[in-house]
Amino acid sequence: MIQKMKKLTFLVYHKEYEEFLEELQKLGVVHLQNADDQSAGDERNAALYSEVNKLEEELKHVAAIKKEMADLKGIDIDTVVAGNADAAAEAIALYEQIKDKISAASQNALRYEHDADVLRPWGQFDREQIERLEANNIHIHFHAAPNSVFKKQYEAYTSGAISQDKSYVYFVSFTQNDDADEVDLDDIQLPDISLSEAEEQLSLTLKEAESLKTQLLESADALPHVVAYENSLINKIEFEKAQIDTALAANGKVMVVEGWFPVNLEAKVESFLKKADTYYDIREPQSEDDVPIMFKNNKFTSLFEGLTKMYGFPSYNEWDPTPIIAPFFTLFFAICMGDAGYGILIALYGLFGIAGKTKKVPILGEMLAGCEAMVFVLGVATTIVGFFLGTFFGINIVEAGWIPATTALGGILAWLQGNVPGTEYSIQMAGAICIGVFHICLAMIIKALLYTQKEGFKSQISTWGWVILLVGGVITGVLTLAGTLSQEQMQLVLIGIGAVAAVAIYLLNDVGRMTNSPIKGIIINPLAGLYDTYNMASGLMGDILSYIRIYALCLAGGMLGGAFNMIGDMVRGDEMSWTIVFAVIIYVIGHIFNLLMSAISAFVHPLRLNFVEYFKNAGYDGKGTGYKPFEVK
């Protein structure tokens, strides 16, 4: 459901405005509306926009530091209690200073490590002796050559190898005065320090880096101050934006502010405004107003509000689709998973998340943060549906004899795994199609009711014609299959339904009425009805077939789980032996892989069925604005 809202307009004298905004921010319940005409405040707003941009850049920087500190300490940022915002600047500066020192030390360590690697083949030598030789015009050239090449080409020109590894021989050659070097290899340029100096500096630099990392960890204890500073920046940004959203009147002497608040908080808002001693007006929303949306659902439905927000908030004159998404997404997810064993694991994961344990799990913990209760519900639903589909970690419960088919429950499970009587079609596949038909019919009924409420019955006669045709046809078919209607009665009912629907679709649709000409309407209405029939027939067929994928995903997951079981059984053999270890590895890895793959499919496809098939037939736009109160963070 959508929370009812009221519009608030108040006028504030410009000298009292900032103080008033501060108090309004502390109240924290009013969603401020963008001012329609801010031409009088262009110069003022330009300065405010510039300030907001600076604050947002600083906020990004602080948020990055906060995340680094939280990761460094290995703690959940949501559990951090805010500290003193004034101490944050010094803490951030120290943190970044230590980071810069660590970066410099790491660069130095790499340089010294490189120098040591270059010098190591030549061992320790006296650089001063080399300099004395150079002073007497005796030049030393350092070379490296492949082992085979050295023996064939260069061994005769040297006094032997200095060192040798698996690939290269390291040697020197001498020249006097300006004579050319007979070894036609490029000289290796050695660093200006000795090997012992390079290794010593490397060791000292690594110790310095470790010491700095300890200091960095200690500086991250200032995380609460950084969190407090981040919140203060958010509040400043919201405050500046609130001033931008304010219209000016009376040559800038009066500030005109408009906003929205939930009706259940009207007494609180009025009490605040009376204390503020300012003029205000509270009224009901008008049809042209862009009213912010705040959901008001029960505990179960509210778990799925995030899915609705993924697509877009409803408009104020629309209906909240969450109460429909919640049960159908749960059912679709459970069928797609289709395994009671996997459902138990998902439910346990959700319970650990509720207890705060999954936040420590890499990737998945972050991805599912805030959705733990929904995950638990999906896991319970998967366990129940998976049981009735007869699968537990890829094992067929009935075939394995866990619940014998001779029992009443076993008979039900076996029947659900069979075919529709008299056909070769799976009951589970037929069930998926029936669920899809019901889902789409429900969407069309909701669309007809909603648009009738918004635009009136006359403009929706054609829509109601389609509802009567499809829903009436489905109900008639069900009653006939149940034996309530005979074949003759079914034919008469369908003829009646078809006649009523045809009149509504082909003669009374809204297209001809918009021409303001009865004669044109007689010609245009049937043509528009035929065009609508083509779109409905082709669209509905594709929509209904999409629901078969629910069954297909369930079947694929079950078959893959069974395949891993079969491979594990083959490795294990008939007798207990050490091969059980490898079999268990196959079972565990195989089912983890299958669980993750099935979970992705079981999330994406039900989401598509709601966002595409249901929303399209329900006429849902999702172009509303979320309720965001002006409040202190």
- pLDDT at position 512: 45
Which is more confidently placed, 160 or 437? 437
Residue 39 has pLDDT above 70, yes or no: no
Nearest to 383 by CA among 338, 349, 353: 338
Percent of all residues in the chain with a pLDDT value above 70, rounded to a whole number? 89
pLDDT band at 569 (very low <50, low <70, confident <90, very high): confident
- pLDDT at position 505: 74
Q: Find the mean pLDDT for residues 164-184.
A: 84
pLDDT band at 326 (very low <50, low <70, confident <90, very high): very high
**If you ran DSSP here, which 8-state letter would residue 181 be given?**
P
49-75 confidence digits (pLDDT tens): 677 778 888 888 888 888 888 888 877
Residue 156 has pLDDT above 50, yes or no: yes
Residue 539 has pLDDT above 80, yes or no: no
Residue 384 has pLDDT above 90, yes or no: yes
Average pLDDT, whole number, for the chain? 82
Distance between CA 490 and CA 484 in Å, rounded? 10
Pull the structure tokens for residue 250.
């009376």
Q: Are 560 and 594 in contact (CB under 8 A)?
A: yes
Nearest to 465 by CA among 493, 506, 504, 498: 504
Q: Determine the topology of domain 1-35+245-289 in CATH.
A: Alpha-Beta Plaits (3.30.70)
Q: Find the mean pLDDT for residues 380-391.
A: 91
What residues does each domain of the chain span?
1-35+245-289, 125-193, 299-429+548-618, 457-546
Which is more confidently placed, 490 or 348? 348
- pLDDT at position 250: 47
- pLDDT at position 527: 72
Residue 596 burial (10 A CB sphere; 0-12, 13-18, 19+) = exposed
Q: Find the mean pLDDT for residues 198-211.
A: 91
407-448 confidence digits (pLDDT tens): 888 888 888 888 877 777 888 888 888 888 889 889 888 888
Q: Find the mean pLDDT for residues 309-318.
A: 87
Distances (CA, A) of 203 to 102, 119, 208: 15, 16, 9
Residue 325 has pLDDT above 90, yes or no: yes
Selection from 9-23, 114-128, 336-350 with the highest mean pLDDT = 336-350
Residue 41 has pLDDT above 60, yes or no: no
- pLDDT at position 203: 92
Which is more confidently placed, 162 or 400? 162
Rounded to a whole number of angstroms, the distance between the first and last alpha carbons of the chain is 27
215-268 confidence digits (pLDDT tens): 888 888 888 888 888 888 877 777 777 766 666 554 556 777 788 889 888 888
Residue 174 has pLDDT above 50, yes or no: yes
- pLDDT at position 509: 66
